[in-house]
């Protein structure tokens, strides 16, 4: 049996500039500052006695031909790795695997590729995993998403990820002290809205209109640089304040990003004394990222518990990895 473990991601600033139409047309390309979170997608791959394929996720599929698999990420990952028969595949998520704003769908793809390559006897780099995941999701399945999730999940850590005009992706680790890492965990909180949505659905229904929306994206790209600087210097309150501007910029791109429920929740968060907050991912639901002291976290718990799950921002520094491999037996 092979077991892969792949983190989800939290984007501080820059989300939306990683889509190809923007990064490959903008003078400076796209850029995201993000971290890999210690919440995981686990994928198991086990050899079967026969040649059939069993896939277990929120539903169960048993097929004779991999082409008949309904789970498109599993099907295309099998095709790409050449592992197309005689396996049982299971995916298990620490958080909902779709619609959270944490890039969990891409983490599933990266984890599938890592486990299937390992099953086939291959050890692949983080860069290859991310590139192949992008190829599956964007090029083959034609999902209208960006490229940040696949790279954050593959590499782990806290990084700036640059999306160049020529299509190259550069992952640049942000070297911060253990003290700053500890403060990130203490001062930043994720709050689940209780609403899930499909990022590809939100993005496919979004209409980026006019020069103002493009200008917003250019400013969002600049914010990723500012976020990197605040992390380097440990000025986390400034980073928290930047979340407010990032949220307002994102809301100005498309009317599908927010709604009355989310706007009200944002106001309730800020009313506790939080420095700043923004909704993660494409919008429409998922998690809010909030900055504030431990005292503010206690106020947030009083305001939103038990209906809204809260998670501290602990960093995964490894990225997608194989945590069990007994294929040599």
CATH number, domain containing residue 202? 3.30.70.890
What CATH number is attached to the domain comprising 76? Answer: 3.30.230.10
Residues 82 and 99 in one domain: yes
The answer to whether residue 324 is domain-embedded is no
The residues, any chain, with a CB within 8 Å of residue 153's CB and separated by 6 or more, are 6, 7, 8, 9, 36, 103, 106, 107, 110, 111, 130, 133, 319, 320
Residue 290 has a CB neighbour count (10 Å cut-off) of 26
Q: Which stretches of the chain score pLDDT less than 70?
A: 97, 196-212, 328-329
Check residue 202 and give its pLDDT.
46
Residue 41 to residue 321: CA distance in whole angstroms: 11
Q: Is residue 317 part of a domain?
A: no
Structure confidence at residue 258 (pLDDT): 86
Is 251 inside a domain boundary? yes
- Runs of H (alpha helix) within the chain: 20-23, 72-81, 104-119, 126-134, 148-155, 178-187, 199-204, 210-233, 236-251, 260-271, 294-304
Q: Is residue 88 part of a domain?
A: yes
* Token reading at 88: 């049982």
CA distance 113 to 79: 10
Q: What is the pLDDT of residue 326?
A: 92
- Residue 320 domain-assigned? no
What residue numbers bound the domain in which 209 lies?
178-312
Q: Are 150 and 130 in contact (CB under 8 A)?
A: yes
Question: What pLDDT sits at residue 18?
Answer: 95
Please tell me whether residues 202 and 289 are part of one structural domain: yes
Q: What is the reported pLDDT for 328? A: 67
> Do 163 and 238 have their domain in common?
no
Phi, psi of 307 (to 5 degrees): -75, -25
Query: Which phi and psi (to 5°) does residue 232 adopt?
Result: -65, -35
The confidence score (pLDDT) of residue 197 equals 60
Question: Look-up: residue for tokens 């969990």?
Answer: 104
Residue 168 pLDDT: 96
Residue 140 per-residue DSSP state: I
Q: Give CA separation, 71 vs 75, 76, 101, 102, 109, in Å.
A: 6, 9, 20, 20, 11
Residue 244 and residue 144 share a domain: no
Does a cis peptide bond (omega within 30 degrees of 0) precede residue 306? yes
Question: Are residues 35 and 158 both part of a single domain?
Answer: yes
Q: How far apart are CA 128 and CA 132, in angstroms?
A: 6
Does residue 231 sit in the same domain as residue 124? Answer: no
pLDDT in tens, 199-220: 545 444 444 545 667 888 899 9
Question: Of 144, 175, 206, which closes a domain?
Answer: 175
CA angle 182, 183, 184 (to 5 degrees): 90
What's the pLDDT at 81?
Answer: 98
81 found inside a domain: yes
């Amino acid at each position: 049996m092979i077991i892969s473990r792949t983190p989800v991601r939290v984007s501080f600033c820059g989300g939306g500039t990683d889509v190809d139409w923007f990064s490959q047309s903008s003078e400076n390309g796209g850029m995201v500052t993000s971290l890999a979170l210690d919440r995981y997608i686990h994928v198991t791959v086990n050899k079967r006695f026969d040649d059939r394929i069993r896939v277990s996720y929120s539903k169960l599929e048993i097929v004779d031909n991999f082409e008949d698999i309904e789970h498109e990420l599993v099907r295309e990952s099998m095709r790409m790795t050449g592992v197309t028969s005689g396996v049982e595949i299971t995916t298990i998520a620490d958080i909902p695997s779709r619609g959270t704003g944490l890039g969990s769908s891409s983490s599933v793809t990266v984890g599938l590729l890592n486990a299937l390559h390992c099953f086939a006897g291959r050890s692949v780099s983080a860069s290859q995993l991310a590139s192949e995941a992008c190829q599956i999701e964007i090029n083959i399945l034609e999902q209208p998403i960006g490229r940040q999730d696949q790279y954050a999940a593959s590499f782990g850590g806290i990084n700036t990820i640059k999306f160049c005009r020529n299509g190259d992706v550069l992952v640049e680790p942000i070297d911060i002290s253990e003290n700053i890492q500890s403060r990130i965990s203490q001062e930043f909180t994720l709050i689940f809205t209780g609403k899930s949505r499909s990022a590809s659905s939100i993005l496919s229904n979004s209409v980026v209109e006019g020069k103002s929306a493009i200008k917003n994206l250019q400013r969002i790209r600049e914010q990723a640089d500012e976020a990197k600087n605040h992390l380097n210097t440990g000025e986390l309150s400034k980073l928290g304040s930047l979340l407010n501007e990032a949220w307002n910029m994102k809301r100005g791109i498309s009317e599908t990003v927010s709604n009355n429920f989310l706007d009200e929740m944002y106001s309730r968060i800020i009313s506790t004394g939080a420095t700043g907050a923004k909704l993660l991912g494409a919008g429409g639901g998922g998690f809010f990222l909030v900055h504030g002291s431990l005292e503010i976290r206690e106020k947030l718990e009083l305001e939103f518990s038990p209906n809204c799950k809260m998670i501290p921002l602990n960093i995964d520094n490894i990225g997608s990895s194989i945590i069990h491999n007994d294929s040599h037996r």
